[in-house]
Amino acid sequence: MRIKLIILTLTLLFPVLSIAQEDERQYKIPDSVPFTIDSLYREDQFYVGFSFNLITNKPEAVSQESFSGGINLGVIRDIPLNERRNIALGLGIGWGIDSYGQNLRITKSASGVTEFQSLEDIDYDTNRYTTQQFELPFEFRWRTSTSESYKFWRIYTGVRLGYIYNFRSNYKDDAEQSVINDLSELNKFRAGATFTFGYNTFNFHFYYSLIPFFKDASLQNESLDVSTLKIGLTFYIL
């Protein structure tokens, strides 16, 4: 519920901020104030994104349940490559939180061995993974921007590296609740391909993980190579 509230609040807030920023840029400067065009402008150096998270490469006994979503935000250094400055590289640092509702329960045996169990045909209230990670986005950027225009098309593609520093598996039913934070089978180092396109304020964003979520994990003698696909919106500022 907490992540849903955060996503809803920020989703409503950022279009307002973007519109306010645009109105400020379009405000007419008095004739008495000298006006100069910034020929060394940079674009899209702060970002915030909201995504719907899909679990891919699932075994037949695993299904996605309830809402799965995420938020990521950060700063990217825009490095123009040409005189017009509409082709650039972007290198940044960011933070993200993701939540996955599904029916793949994680338990620990008395000896500390991790066990994966499908909750197919089992009644339960909650089974959710939550991750928090640091991120390093790297992008190749093309846009129709000029030093005088603040509305433009953009197509950005690249990779996003990451490191999960906090993991939480939360299971709850009528009889018990169990939380697991330490999971040796978790692939903490992340890497994914990214693609963003859009116009002005609203930009569609896609992220496909290149590394499975788990390592050396299996379910019913079948390898667990589940991955993630994120589809959402990204808003850029400055």
Domain boundaries, the chain: 2-14+42-237
CB within 8 A of 149, min separation 6: which ones?
none
50 phi and psi angles, rounded to 5 deg: -130, 135
Q: How far is residue 171's CA from residue 105's CA, in Å, rounded to a whole number?
A: 7
- pLDDT at residue 201, as a whole number: 83
Q: How far is residue 155's CA from residue 197's CA, in Å, rounded to a whole number?
A: 4
Mean pLDDT on 3-12:
48
- pLDDT at residue 69, as a whole number: 97
Q: How confident is the model at residue 34 (pLDDT cuts 50, 70, 90)?
A: low
Nearest Cα residue to 196 out of 41, 20, 48, 55: 48
Q: Is there a contact between 238 and 45 (Cβ–Cβ < 8 Å)?
A: yes
- Predicted structure pTM score: 0.82
Higher-pLDDT residue of 143 and 40 is 143
Mean pLDDT on 79-84:
93
Q: Is the pLDDT of residue 68 over 90?
A: yes
125 phi and psi angles, rounded to 5 deg: -95, -45
Q: How confident is the model at residue 38 (pLDDT cuts 50, 70, 90)?
A: low
Query: Looking at residue 32, what DSSP letter applies?
Result: T
Mean pLDDT on 144-172:
93
Nearest Cα residue to 17 out of 52, 9, 205, 5: 9
Q: Is there a contact between 59 and 224 (Cβ–Cβ < 8 Å)?
A: yes
Q: Is the pLDDT of residue 24 over 50?
A: no
The 10s digit of each residue's pLDDT in 90-125 is 999 999 999 999 999 999 988 889 999 999 989 999
The 10s digit of each residue's pLDDT in 165-182 is 999 999 999 999 999 999
Higher-pLDDT residue of 206 and 31 is 206
Q: How far is residue 206's CA from residue 197's CA, in Å, rounded to a whole number?
A: 9
Query: Looking at residue 2, what DSSP letter applies?
Result: H
Tokens 């499908």, located at residue: 118
Q: Is there a contact between 44 and 85 (Cβ–Cβ < 8 Å)?
A: no
Q: How far is residue 97's CA from residue 132's CA, in Å, rounded to a whole number?
A: 4
Mean pLDDT on 7-32:
46
